[in-house]
């Protein structure tokens, strides 16, 4: 199936640990994103990459480091996890960076930090 897929779907870990979330899209899109959805369901952009280049980096702690090995993949590594990092993280992609390209989302990774 053509889609944006992210793994794992659930991630439970302890404070202080380092974890990664992987994302892959097979839609042939140039642009990929990471969004964070908090407990009130508010969606906020974290990062965006266009053709493997970082183009948006919102005010996210530098414990969060995205990596795009190629334009079909955008992984998110998080160091020294904190309780406040608990949220659902969504990967998304769009054809390109223009406003005419809607975002297509993965099904999310629910991160719980204990």
Residues engaged in binding another protein (CB under 8 A): 4, 35, 41-45, 48, 55-56, 58, 90, 92, 97-100, 102-108
* Comparison of 80 and 107: residue with beta carbon closer to another protein: 107
Instruction: Identify the CA nearest to 5 among candidates 65, 74, 67, 56.
Output: 74
Cα–Cα nearest to 106, from 28, 13, 9, 30: 9
Q: Supply the minimum distance, in Å, between the C-beta of residue 108 and another protein.
A: 5
List helix spans (H) across 2-92. Answer: none
Query: Are 43 and 105 in contact, with CB atoms under 8 Å apart?
Result: no
* Residue with smaller CB distance to another protein, 4 or 113: 4
Contact 78, 98 (CB under 8 A): no
Judged by beta carbon, residue 78 or residue 94, the one nearer another protein is 94
CB of 25 to another protein, least distance (A): 12
| In the complex, least distance from residue 101 CB atom to another protein, rounded to whole angstroms | 9
Q: What is the largest CA-CA distance in the chain?
A: 41
Q: How far is the CB of 8 from another protein (least distance, A)?
A: 14
């Amino acid at each position: 199936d053509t889609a944006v897929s992210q793994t794992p779907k659930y991630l439970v870990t302890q404070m202080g640990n380092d974890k990664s979330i992987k994302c892959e899209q097979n839609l042939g899109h140039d642009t990929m994103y990471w969004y964070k959805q908090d407990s009130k369901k508010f969606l906020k952009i974290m990062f965006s990459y266009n053709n493997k280049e970082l183009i948006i980096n919102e005010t996210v702690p530098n414990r969060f480091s995205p990596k795009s090995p190629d334009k079909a993949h955008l992984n998110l590594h998080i160091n020294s996890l904190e309780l406040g990092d608990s949220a659902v993280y969504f990967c998304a992609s769009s054809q390109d960076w223009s406003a005419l390209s809607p975002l297509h989302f993965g099904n999310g990774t629910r991160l719980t930090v204990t």
